[in-house]
Amino acid sequence: MRVTAQEIIEFAHRYDPQDFHTDPAKAADTQFGGLIASGWMTCGMMMRMYSEHYLTHNASLASPGIDELRWLEPVRPDDVLSTRVTIVEARRSASKPDRGLVRSKIEVLNQHDRVVLSMLAMNLIGCRTPAAA
């Protein structure tokens, strides 16, 4: 997923209006040395990739939340992002045996294979087979 300066600025004007997200000239004089995407925009792009390429539309039920969200590197105009998912834990729900709990480490990488975002997510996933009696 390619990130454009226009998308960065439009998102920031609406949701995170800090100069290093909204104004390329002012951003040049910050510690970032130029325009960067809001971390929240990066989360939104991650969710798009995660939803389209990982979650199934028939088994994904919901998510009770995330842990350890980190923005590790700035995302800049023209960066190309991808997502890597690693299953950390998977278990059947004790209270609702028709579903499982899957904890995943999600990383967003730029075109240089540098991790720009990492987080742990928990997803509720429908199970194919009923729990053993």
The rounded percent of the chain whose pLDDT value lies above 90 is 80
pTM for the model stands at: 0.90
pLDDT band at 132 (very low <50, low <70, confident <90, very high): low
pLDDT in tens, 99-126: 999 999 999 999 999 999 999 999 999 9
Say which CATH superfamily domain 36-126 falls into.
Answer: Hotdog Thioesterase (3.10.129.10)
Note whether 104 and 87 are within 8 A (CB).
yes
Q: What are the residue ranges spanned by the domains of the chain?
A: 36-126
Dihedral sign computed on CA atoms, order 79, 83, 88, 93: positive
The phi-psi region of residue 113 (left if phi > 0; otherwise alpha if psi is between -120 and 50; otherwise beta) is left
pLDDT in tens, 47-66: 999 999 888 776 888 899 99
